[in-house]
Structure 1
């Protein structure tokens, strides 16, 4: 992937697939209305114009194949649920072969970037996700996608401001961020971190409100190598104002550049050093049953 820029023709734009199928919950920021690009897609078009990137926007999982993916320099996910089922949005699902094609594509030297609910995708043991198993670490038994991405979504509390400490200011996109960043956002509580991730920022969970954050600090943005390719993930991206925030745009732009090999970085595993208690998950609290209407 590091050599990718050398292989591109002069002035040829990098091609990125932004895939937003929602087999689970569909976020407003990536929802198509009246055939118009979503809010996130409009922002990406602006970033693409500044950086020489050409985006393809899709919700069609059936397109995933080695041949289809080969045209892109990177694939970017803002997805939910089991993408091998039609699910909430009813768009065509991936096949198991298409899912494997994604893994092979990245391993061969391409880039992958996940934003926000990319970690709420392909859950381990999908049928058990509404109970206590949601709060367990599965380690090597986790779904291959979870191992590939580097972590998995558990739950989120109310939107609130939270402090994220930068753990590698030298990584592309973090040079202007400073020692920490703090936003109002829907912050994901995450688990099952792949041991080889290179953590770029950790979230100060103990200072946050809600049982979902009753745990030590844990990674909120990271990078890892997958074969010859690169995987980057950030938990941010729920709110529209995050997508227009300069800090988020710097982090996302840096992640994309690194994923495609346009910029380089050392991504040695550092989870034990910067978030030694990250595998401690919040306590499971059974959800209250739905309220019945009066008189029923």
Structure 2
């Protein structure tokens, strides 16, 4: 064998090994991959879910930071949400999921988030897995009830977070179905948006609307807004959601610092 060829063989072997190691699940991707989950086992937001799917794809394309894939059926969940298959994704977005979803490995799913991946949820994502306390702990709050759709004033707890910058340090008004929560402790999340009164009775108190938190090495973003189609279509809501996604995917900087256990929500001090 010519001497030059003998010298090139080790280099070729190294190149082949590097190519083998750079599988789609481990290689650096120019864009993150977000898995949008819209399976429901309870009430289905049949009008807004298709709009949510479309908007999330548009936000990914607009930002240039992520692309989306979908889980719409039990079969797709079984295929794409095993622990092994989740390695193909950087995060998930639960868009008004409800009920006990047929995840192949619920504990494995939460462990995957803790490893450093993103969980984003909108509206009924908190009306999911009521019988799985570890999921409720991860998302930060559990849907309890809602009254008639109503206009509320959203008050900012953190006006510099990527998910709230769109509001330019001002409160905002929105007409939507407004959730109230149980299993919710505002000192265990980093609050973004809240209310200083009950949405329907107007009784004074603290009511969470949107928050973030760290979960192991992973990041969690949740917004309770998004019942209505016209809310998903509003530019400010899309920027709110986009900011939360980018933060969760570690494509944007923002705080997730928890308040002191005896602290009072900032919006109740005003």
* TM-score between the two structures when normalised by the length of structure 2: 0.80
Structure 2 equivalent of residue 54 of structure 1: 67
Which of residues 197, 202, 211 in structure 2 aligns to 1:205? 197
Structure 2 equivalent of residue 8 of structure 1: 28
Higher helix proportion, which one? 2
Which of residues 207, 211, 221 in structure 1 aligns to 2:210? 221
Contact residue 211 and residue 221 of structure 2 kept, 8 A: yes
Contact residue 29 and residue 40 of structure 1 kept, 8 A: no
Contact residue 162 and residue 204 of structure 1 kept, 8 A: no
Structure 2: gaps (5+ residues): 1-26
> How many pairs were matched up?
232
Post-superposition CA distance 1:206-238 (Å, at most 9, x none): 3x325xx75622211000000001011000111
> 2: CA distance between counterparts of 1:183 and 1:266?
25
Divergent runs of 4+, >4 A: none
What SS is found at the alignment partner of 2:166?
coil
Which of residues 94, 103, 111 in structure 2 aligns to 1:94? 103
Which of residues 167, 189, 192 in structure 1 aligns to 2:183? 192
The Cα of 1:30 is off from its aligned counterpart by 5.0
Structure 2 equivalent of residue 73 of structure 1: 90
| Bigger radius of gyration | 2
> 2: CA distance between counterparts of 1:27 and 1:202?
23
Contact residue 163 and residue 240 of structure 2 kept, 8 A: yes
Contact residue 218 and residue 275 of structure 1 kept, 8 A: no
Structure 2 equivalent of residue 122 of structure 1: 129
Note closer, same or farther for the CA distance 1:101–1:80 as it changes in structure 2 (3 Å cut): same
* TM-score between the two structures when normalised by the length of structure 1: 0.73
Note closer, same or farther for the CA distance 1:18–1:164 as it changes in structure 2 (3 Å cut): same
Structure 1: gaps (5+ residues): 1-6, 32-37, 84-92, 125-141, 278-296
